[in-house]
Amino acid sequence: MKEHIIQVDKSLCIGCGLCISDCPVNNIIIKEKKAVIKNQECIKCGHCEAICPKAAVTLTGFSEKTMEIAEKTTLNPRDLLMALKTRRTIRQFKNREVSLEIIQQIIEAGRVTPSAKNTQNVSYIVLGKDKGKYEEVAVKFFRKIQGFAKLWMKGAREVTIDDNFFFKKAPIAIMVVTKDKVSGSLAASNMALMAESYGLGVLYSGFFTVVANYSKKLRRILNLKHGDHVVTTLVIGYPNVKYRRTAKKEEAVVRYL
């Protein structure tokens, strides 16, 4: 990982203090009417660079450049809620490839998702045309443990494990890997939304995720290292099913204090 240094161009800094008020770790002070970074041991969140009205602050070591925000993009609340209500887990997929450009955009949605303490420690494994060999290993493993899984895994008792059990003949699957389950789950959720914005369907394959975390053979051929935890696996493709109405959900359990 590249070293990231926070730099302040004093010729541009006007000492407005916006960076100070927004710094989550109180790492900036004003000295002689100029912003000064106390130390480089912060979380490198980039808020100081993003908020500076004079672009006086720079966070080095990143390959991408910042983008100027002319006007913040807002989502229509009604449209967003309707999109969430009409989402369905997809298990029937068309025989149609997903373009590399769309795959990259889905991963981009995960990359820009906030992570705990800005660790940015989420990585991704895209299983494409060769995913069948990984599914084959996973199927063999799961068939062996199915009897045991019935004791503790809801739904395992009734499932039929065929050769396409995990990926349902979808064109791709994306594994989300990180030690931080919360950061990984947040990234996966945004990735699923991005996928659906392209008209794709998504299945969270919990069974494959379990196998990926426990099968030594599968972990070896996936080149997963010790400590690499698969948070979830997104199975993605174009839906071969159409739902005509929303599904009913239980009412939210809420306490207002």
- CATH number, domain containing residue 51: 3.30.70.20
- The whole model's pTM is what? 0.91
Is 248's pLDDT higher than 80? yes
In sequence order, which ranges of 9-130 are alpha helices (DSSP H)? Answer: 18-22, 47-51, 77-85, 100-111
pLDDT tens for 44-76 read: 999 999 999 999 999 999 989 999 998 888 899
Residue 19 shares a structural domain with residue 146: no
Per the domain annotation, does 253 fall within a domain?
Answer: no
Of residues 96 and 160, more confidently modeled: 96
Residue 46 shares a structural domain with residue 144: no
Residue 136 shares a structural domain with residue 230: yes
Per the domain annotation, does 245 fall within a domain?
Answer: no
Token pair listed for 184: 């990984």
Query: Residue 173 CA to chain centroid, in angstroms?
Result: 13
Residue 49 shares a structural domain with residue 14: yes
What band does 148 get if pLDDT is binned at 50, 70 and 90? low
Residue 131 shares a structural domain with residue 223: yes
Decide if 131 contacts 221 (C-beta within 8 A).
Answer: no
Beta-carbon contacts of residue 131 (< 8 Å; ≥ 6 apart) = 167, 172, 173
Per the domain annotation, does 155 fall within a domain?
Answer: yes
pLDDT at 141: 93
What gap in Å lies between CA 236 and CA 192, rounded to an integer? 9
Residue 83 shares a structural domain with residue 176: yes
pLDDT at 161: 87
* Domains contained in the chain, number: 2
Is 151's pLDDT higher than 60? no
pLDDT tens for 78-87 read: 999 999 999 9
**Phi, psi angles (nearest 5°) of residue 231:** -75, -45
Residue 40 shares a structural domain with residue 116: no
Residue 164 shares a structural domain with residue 214: yes
**Residue 129 CA neighbour count, 13 Å, CB half:** 3
Per the domain annotation, does 207 fall within a domain?
Answer: yes
What band does 232 get if pLDDT is binned at 50, 70 and 90? very high
Domain span at residue 50?
6-59
Q: What is the mean pLDDT of residues 117-137?
A: 95
Is 116's pLDDT higher than 90? no
Q: What is the mean pLDDT of residues 215-231?
A: 96
Decide if 201 contacts 236 (C-beta within 8 A).
Answer: yes
Is 147's pLDDT higher than 80? no
In sequence order, which ranges of 90-249 are alpha helices (DSSP H)? Answer: 100-111, 131-152, 181-197, 206-214, 216-221
pLDDT at 176: 99
| pLDDT averaged over every residue in the chain | 93
Is 1's pLDDT higher than 90? no
Is 181's pLDDT higher than 90? yes
pLDDT at 87: 95
Per the domain annotation, does 84 fall within a domain?
Answer: yes
Residue with tokens 């795959």: 103
Is 158's pLDDT higher than 80? no
* Position 191, amino acid: M
Which region among 40-44, 70-74, 140-144 has the lowest average model confidence (pLDDT)? 70-74
What band does 144 get if pLDDT is binned at 50, 70 and 90? confident
Token pair listed for 63: 């390959």
Residue 99 shares a structural domain with residue 54: no
Rg (CA), the chain: 23
